[in-house]
Amino acid sequence: MIDMKPRFCRVLGLALALGMLSSPFCPAQNVVTPSAAVVKKKAVVKVAAAAREQEKTPEETNILHGEIRALDQESEKFFETVTGQIGEWFGPSFQYMFLGVEAWRYLCFGVVLILSFALAHISNWFLGKQMARICKRTSWDVDDLVFAHAVKPTRVVVETLGVYTGLMLLLTGRIPEEGISWLTRVSLAIAAAACFWYVYRLVEVADHYCRKLVLRDDNDLDSTFVNVARKTLRVLVTVVAFLFIARGVLQWNITTLVASAGIFGLAIAFAAQDTIANLFGTLMLLLDRPFRVGERVVINGAEGPVESIGFRSTRIRTLEGNLVSIPNKTAADSMVENVGRRPHIKRVSTIGLVYGTSYQEMKRAVEVLREIFDNHRGMNPEFLPRIHFIEFSAYSLDIKIIAWYHPGDQVEYWAWCEEINFEIMRRFEEEGLEFAFPTQTVHLTPDDALA
């Protein structure tokens, strides 16, 4: 670590000396000797040099910036050597000038461009066709997508390096060092952007692989989680690419921008509390997973299959065909009834017979019902039907029926109920059993009888 105390003392002493020389109370103010002028000038130079050192020290601690500066210098030296050797090789025949640049430089620029575009075309052919042909021999289709998504970014990198090489051969020694540095940084920025573009496209490969896992029965991965993860990774790659290229390659001062973004984000956080609450609700839904896309649910009175789970809201298509959007904060805080995950559907019904039914007929009715529900379609041996004569109600003799249908498919359950009801009607007609309905019996007594 550099000891800053001696340097600071020297700078402070020189500044005080300079201040005393310029003070109106200094005896030598009106008689400035040559030695005083020299001392004053040296003090100004040293103060300025110390200030420059103070400004350079934080930047020199940045390894990435130092590497890029070293790359600028090395590339400039390299191309100066190469252009000197090429100029000597061409001889005086190509030394005539056009717009301040030798003719052989234009020739090298054109040749490098042609070669770079040809190399880009070859890489396109190799990755897009040859590697695709090799990858088709494998049963795994992810490798096909990895090479297919690398075609365009690779072409951008090759063409960028070719254009950069051609421009360096054309302009080295003919433009200032700042122009060479700017050209190097822009070329690196484009190449880095192409690399991040490839990473961005690899997110699609991961999404494709995860979606295949979602369709399998031996995993617990949710398609909603895959969608949110894909969007999050895209945003993350974009932000990292911007920060890396802007700060690391182009060396833009984004400190003020980041600080402004923090203040702006704080203001947005206060203004968009509901939106942030919905984002946290989305996170809770993804972690807890009370429902998935395609499952039938009941949330706040809205019943139907879930069509999508977004960052802000969950969309449900009701049985009437309407599309209902429920904020994820509400969905996370509400009681969710997941109809799609029920393993069975419970049927509870009561059959009433008229009070004129005899004891033997009542026993026969219970036996008939037990025969109908015995080993019925969709029955699970662990959930046997329950059929009992339970009550003498106001106008009927009631038989309670409790049965479970497996699986929990609503349409199949309705078809089974229809089948069972028809069978009950047929068997009761054969047995001569009469269903009860709400009735009242009124007995009228003459007035003479009352007297």
What is the predicted pLDDT for the residue at 62? 52
What is the predicted pLDDT for the residue at 220? 52
Q: Which residues neighbour 140 within 8 Å (Cβ) at sequence distance 6 or greater?
A: none
Strand 323-327 to 336-338 pairing: unpaired
Q: Which residues neighbour 242 within 8 Å (Cβ) at sequence distance 6 or greater?
A: none
What is the predicted pLDDT for the residue at 300? 86
Sign of CA dihedral 273, 276, 280, 281: positive
Q: How many CB atoms lie within 10 A of CB 183?
A: 19
Name the 3-class secondary structure at 274.
helix
Instruction: List the one residue out of 62, 71, 14 whose CA is nearest residue 40.
Output: 14
Q: How many CB atoms lie within 10 A of CB 341?
A: 13
What is the predicted pLDDT for the residue at 37? 40
Rounded to whole angstroms, how far apart are CA atoms 369 and 383? 16
Count Cβ atoms within 10 A of the Cβ of residue 180 and give its class: 0-12 exposed, 13-18 middle, 19 or more buried.
buried
Rounded to whole angstroms, how far apart are CA atoms 337 and 304? 11
Cβ–Cβ under 8 Å, residues 149 and 197: no
What is the predicted pLDDT for the residue at 332? 87
Identity at 438, one-letter amino acid code:
P
Instruction: Per-residue pLDDT tens, the chain, 451 aa: give them.
Output: 334 433 434 433 333 333 333 333 333 333 333 333 433 343 444 434 444 444 444 444 355 555 556 655 566 566 656 655 665 565 565 565 666 666 667 777 788 888 888 888 888 888 877 777 777 777 777 777 888 888 888 888 888 888 888 887 777 766 777 777 778 888 888 888 888 888 888 888 887 777 776 666 555 556 666 777 777 888 888 888 887 777 766 666 666 666 666 666 666 656 556 777 777 787 788 778 888 888 889 998 888 999 888 778 889 999 888 999 998 888 888 899 998 888 999 999 999 999 989 999 999 999 999 999 998 999 988 899 999 999 999 889 999 999 999 988 888 999 999 999 999 999 999 999 999 888 777 777 776 655 5
Query: Quick one: tokens of 320?
Result: 């009437």
Sign of CA dihedral 72, 78, 79, 84: positive
The backbone torsions φ and ψ at residue 446, rounded to the nearest 5 degrees and listed phi first, read -60, 160
Rounded to whole angstroms, how far apart are CA atoms 391 and 398? 5
pTM beyond cutoff 0.75: no
Query: Quick one: tokens of 388?
Result: 């009992």
Q: Length of the chain in residues, anyone?
A: 451
Angle, CA of 315, 316 and 318, to the nearest 5°: 150
Look at the block and give the residue holding tokens 């959007």: 325
Query: Quick one: tokens of 281?
Result: 């609700």
The backbone torsions φ and ψ at residue 352, rounded to the nearest 5 degrees and listed phi first, read -110, 135
Query: Quick one: tokens of 66?
Result: 């130092």
The interaxial angle of helices 34-60 and 63-90, nearest 10 deg, is 100
Instruction: List the one residue out of 190, 189, 177 whose CA is nearest residue 72.
Output: 177
Rounded to whole angstroms, how far apart are CA atoms 178 and 72? 10
Cβ–Cβ under 8 Å, residues 252 and 246: yes
Rounded to whole angstroms, how far apart are CA atoms 223 and 211? 7
Residue 93 carries which DSSP code?
A: G
Rounded to whole angstroms, how far apart are CA atoms 337 and 296? 9
Instruction: List the one residue out of 270, 286, 271 whose CA is nearest residue 331.
Output: 286
Count Cβ atoms within 10 A of the Cβ of residue 16 and give its class: 0-12 exposed, 13-18 middle, 19 or more buried.
exposed
Look at the block and give the residue holding tokens 């200094």: 26
The backbone torsions φ and ψ at residue 338, rounded to the nearest 5 degrees and listed phi first, read -90, 95
Rounded to whole angstroms, how far apart are CA atoms 70 and 74? 6
User: DSSP for 15-70?
Assistant: HHHHHHHT-TT-TTSSS--HHHHHHHHHHHHHHHHHHHHHHHHHHHT-HHHHHHHH
